[in-house]
Amino acid sequence: MTTGTTRTTDATPAMDPLPVTDATRWWLPRAELDRLVALLRADGRTVVGPAFEDGVVVYREIGSAAELPAGVTDEQRPGRYRARVSTDDAHTFGFAASPTSWKRWTFPPSVELGVARREGDQLRFETPTREVPPVAFLGARACDLAAIAIQDRVLLGGPVADADYRARRSGTLTIGVDCATPSGTCFCTSMGTGPEVVTGHDLALTELDDGFVVRVGTTTGRDLVDRLALSSADASQVEAARAVPDRARAAITRQVDTNGLSERLIANPEHPRWAEVAERCLACTSCTMVCPTCFCTSVSQVSDLDATSATSTREWDSCFTLGFGAVAGGNFRTRRQDRYRQWLTHKFGTWVEQFGSMGCVGCGRCVTWCPVGIDIRDELAAIAGPPPAPAIGTSLPIAAAHPGEYVVATVGSVTPETPDTWTLSLHDVDAAIRAGQPGQFMMVALPGFSAAPISISRYRPDGIDLTIRAAGPATTALTRLRPGSQLGLRGPLGRGWPVELADDRDVLIVAGGLGLPPLRPLIERVLADRGRYRTVRLVIGARTPDDLVLRPDIERWQARTDLDIGVTVDRAGSDWTGPVGVVTQLFDRTAIDPVRTIAYVCGPERMMQAASRTLAGMGMLPDRIYVSMERHMECGVGLCGHCQMGRFFVCRDGPVFSRAELGDTFDLEGI
C-alpha cells in the first residue's frame, strides 16, 4: 500500500478541519479551476473527480481540470444511460449521478485485512498498517455526501469501527457541487438529501456559465479560499447560484412518500409484489454494486501451498447473491424474492432502527443501472403504498384535491384557548384534507362572510383542528360556531414545513403567540418519529401567561425527557414562575449547534425577524431557518394579488419560506 499519515478516532472520522459558518460567497472563474486542482495536488493529495471514459462519466484520479467532463450531459431512466458531449456547453458538472461513487475510495471493493502465519505450533496474526494518502474529492453531489455520512454512521458509529474506513476518511477533503441537472431516476428531494450541498463539505461549488460561486464549510475550506485569493461573488452571481438547486428541485417530479414508509414496508413481508418483482429481477447485484451506501462484504482467504500463511481479504458482496444467505446447515434465502425483499426492506425499513436513517439517498443509480429497468420507486409504491386513509363516519367526495372547490365539514367540539381564541375540532373531513402536511392552511368559509385562511393546527385520523383568533367578522363568526355546525373547507393549500430536512439533525422550533398552532403538526410529526432526529428543542413565547395557547399540549411536552422545552412571557403577574422576557432570550439558555440545526419559526413578523437575526448571529445559515409568512390571503392560490410579497405570492409559494429565499425582503416594511 502507498504510505502516508493516518489519523484515527474511535467513532467518527478524525478530520482536522472544523465546521465553520461563513455567509460570504466567493467567486472562482472557470479558467481558475485548474489552480484549485493544482493546489490540492501540491498539498500531496490524490485528486479524485469525474472524467468521461468509454461513453460514461466515472470518478477517477485526475491530474488537471482538463480531464474533467466539460460539456458532457447524460440521459438516465430505468435501465438506460446515454451520455452526450456538446461543444457548445462548457459546464463541467452538467451530468447526473455516475455509476461509480466515492465509496470506491473510502470503502474499496477489495481490502487486505491481515495475514495469519504458522510457525511450528505458534500462530501469529498480522494486521496491515493502515496508511493511506490524503484524498480530495472534487465534484461530490449532495446525495453522495449524504451517502458518505450514512456510511460514517454504519462503519464508524457502532461499538466497533472499521479501521480501514477510518483511516481513509481521516485524510479526505471534500469539494461538493450543487446539482443542476438531475436525471429521470433521481429522487433526492424525497430523501431530504439534495439537490443543494448543505453539509459534509469543506467547500461547495455552484456552477454558473462562467465560473463557480463558492461556499465554505470547514476551516480547511476557508484556508483553500485564502490561498487561492478568491474575490467575493457579486450579488447577481449569488442570486443566480441560489436559483440553480431550485431549478433542479423543480425538475425532480417523481417522489417517494417517506411518511411512515419504514413501518409500511416492514408490515408487508408477504405482499405478492415480492414474487412479481423477483420474476423480473436477474439477481445480478448491479443495484448494490452501484449503490453509494451498501456495505455488504465477504472475507476470502488465500494460503500458500504448505498452509503456513493465509491472507484474509474483504471484498464487496451483495445480499442478492445466492451464497450470501448460506449458513451452516443450509441457506435461509434461496428464493430470489426473499433476497429482493431483504435488500429493499433493509434500505428503507430496518436500516432506520439500526443506524437512525434510511439507507438510501435517492441518487437513482440502482434504477438507471438495473438491466431490466426495475424502478424502486414503483416497487415501494406497490408494496408499501400510501398511508391508508382512516375511515370516516360519512362518505364525502374528495373534492379538496381541487383547490377551487369547497367541501363541507362538521364542528365536533369547540375549546377555548384564550379570551379571544378557540380551537375548532372538525370531523367528517375530506380525506384529501387529512392527508395534508404540517404548515399548510385551509380556506375556511361560512355563508355571508369572506373566506378566511386558517393554518391547520392538528391532523387527526377523523379530522383536523383549526385554532382561530377572533380578529374580524369572519373569524369571529367561526369562533362562535357550536358542535354540529358545518363550515366549508378548501385545501390544504400552500407549502408546509420541510420536516424532511431535519433528518439526523438538531431541530429548533420557535413559536410566538398564535404561531404555536401552525407548528403543532410539525412538533407532533417530529415527536412521533423521534428517532429520526437528534436534539429537539421547543421555545415558546407569549405576551402574558393568559395568552398561552394549547396549554395541555405544552404540559404534556414539558413532561417528556426527549424534548428540551422553554416557555417565556413578555409580562407576568405574581402567579407566573417561569422566565419573563422575549423569546430570543431563551436561545442563550441552550447550546445550539449552528451547523447541524434546522430551525422552524412562526409568530408575529417582528418576532420572526428578531429570532432569525439572533440565530444568524449564532452562526446559522439562512437556508437552515424556516419561517411562516401568514400574510393577508384571500383566494389562497395566488390569483388575487392580496398576498404578494416582493416576487412571492405567500399563499402559493409559501406560507413557509427559508430565510435564504426571502433575502432582504423579509426585513423590509411594506413589502
The pLDDT tens digits of the residues spanning 450-474 come to 788 899 999 998 899 999 999 888 8
As a whole number, mean pLDDT of residues 80-98 equals: 90
For 22, other C-beta atoms within 10 Å of its C-beta total 16
In this predicted model, what pLDDT tens digit does every residue of 167-194 receive, in sequence order?
A: 999 989 999 999 999 999 999 999 999 9
Given a cut of 60, is residue 390 above it in pLDDT? Answer: no
9-13, 480-484, 551-555, 650-654: the lowest-pLDDT one = 9-13
Average pLDDT over residues 393-420: 68
Please, where are the H alpha helices in 559-664? 605-617, 650-653, 659-662
pLDDT at residue 395 greater than cutoff 60: no
C-alpha cell at 3: 504510505
Mean pLDDT of the chain: 87
| Mean pLDDT of the 240-266 span | 92
Q: What is the DSSP letter of 544?
A: S
pLDDT tens per residue across span 110-155: 999 888 888 877 778 888 887 888 999 999 999 999 999 999 998 8
pLDDT digits (tens, 9 = 90+) for 291-347: 999 989 988 888 888 878 889 898 999 999 998 887 666 787 899 999 999 999 999
- 402 pLDDT above the threshold of 70: no
What is the set of domains in the chain, with CATH numbers?
A: 26-108+124-251 (no CATH), 407-493 (2.40.30.10), 499-667 (3.40.50.80)
Q: Is the pLDDT of residue 547 over 80?
A: yes
**Residue 81: pLDDT band with limits 50, 70, 90:** very high
Q: Among residues 74, 197, 95, 213, which one has the least CA distance to residue 147?
A: 197
CA distance 557 to 561: 9
State the CB neighbour count (10 A cutoff) for residue 416.
11
> Confidence band (pLDDT; 50, 70, 90) for 632?
low
**Percentage of residues in the chain having pLDDT higher than 90:** 60
Sequence-ordered list of residues with C-beta below 8 angstroms from that of 339, at least 6 positions apart, any chain: 283, 319, 320, 321, 322, 324, 325, 333
What is the predicted pLDDT for the residue at 347?
Answer: 93
Radius of gyration of the chain (CA): 27
Query: In the prediction, which pLDDT does 591 show?
Result: 80
Q: Taking the CB of residue 641, how many other CB atoms lie within 10 A of it?
A: 9
Q: Give 515-537 pLDDT, tens digit per residue.
A: 999 999 999 999 999 999 999 99
Q: Confidence class of residue 405 from pLDDT cuts 50, 70 and 90?
A: confident
Helices (H), ranges, 43-162: 103-106, 142-155
For the chain, the helix, strand and coil percentages under 3-state DSSP, each to the nearest 5: 30, 25, 40
Checking if the pLDDT of 538 tops 70, the result is yes
Which residues 6+ apart lie within 8 Å of 163 measured at CB? 8, 127, 130
